[in-house]
Amino acid sequence: MWTDERVELLKKLWAEGLSASQVAKQLGGVTRNAVIGKVHRLGLSGRATPSRPARSRPQAPRTLVRGRPDPLTAEARGEERLRDMDAERAETVHEERGLEPIQRATVLTLTEHTCKWPIGDPGRPGFHFCGRGAEHASPYCTEHARMAYQPVQARRNRERDRMRKDRLVS
């Protein structure tokens, strides 16, 4: 299969920069993997760069001329202000319910003794965790534990009431 003439042709095509698939097509009767194996066994490493079309590089973003505001940046700033205002409103509502001010913990500042209740949208600026002192053996402060954990009896009563309503409707 690998005659001296075919090996010489392989070396020539490989040095010209043809890919293993292209060499296999030129030789005929061998696969791309057979060509790769033979090239490896012959120790052919250096070769001309393959004939690929040159890729155009993406242009670097243009800088703005001083004095002209970037409308997209201005719009983004407006959206960021709205998100901050929403976060402030949510915090105000939270504090209006009689809760102490929020400590604003981050993932890096959380400990086993801080409340891990998430506040806000994790994908938006201003996201944080409650950060107040957590109850013993609980990830949340007292207020957030009340919101997170419902007594089993209360849940059963609600489910039973729903089932009664469904029977009456049917």
Answer yes or no: is 12 within a domain.
yes
Answer yes or no: is 81 within a domain.
no
In this predicted structure, which of 10-19, 36-45, 95-104 has the lowest mean pLDDT?
95-104
Is 50 a residue whose pLDDT tops 80? no
Answer yes or no: is 59 within a domain.
no
Is 143 a residue whose pLDDT tops 70? yes
Answer yes or no: is 28 within a domain.
yes
Answer yes or no: is 48 within a domain.
no
Answer yes or no: is 9 within a domain.
yes
Burial 140-165 (b: 16+ CB within 10 A, else e): bbebbeeeeeeeeeeeeeeeeeeeee
Number of domains observed in the structure of the chain = 2
For 109-126, what is the mean pLDDT? 86
CB 88 within 8 A of CB 65: no
Q: What's residue 99's pLDDT?
A: 47
- Which residue's structure tokens are 């890919």? 19
Same structural domain, 162 and 102: yes
Residue pLDDT, tens place only, 57-115? 666 666 555 555 555 555 555 555 555 555 555 554 444 344 455 567 888 888 888 88
Answer yes or no: is 50 within a domain.
no
Answer yes or no: is 85 within a domain.
no
What are the backbone angles phi and psi of residue 105, rounded to the nearest 5°? -85, 150
Q: What's residue 33's pLDDT?
A: 94
User: How many CA atoms does the CB half-sphere of 128 hold within 13 Å?
Assistant: 16
Pairwise CA distance, residues 164 & 50, whole Å: 75
User: How many CA atoms does the CB half-sphere of 1 hold within 13 Å?
Assistant: 8
Residue-range definition of the domain harbouring residue 23: 4-42
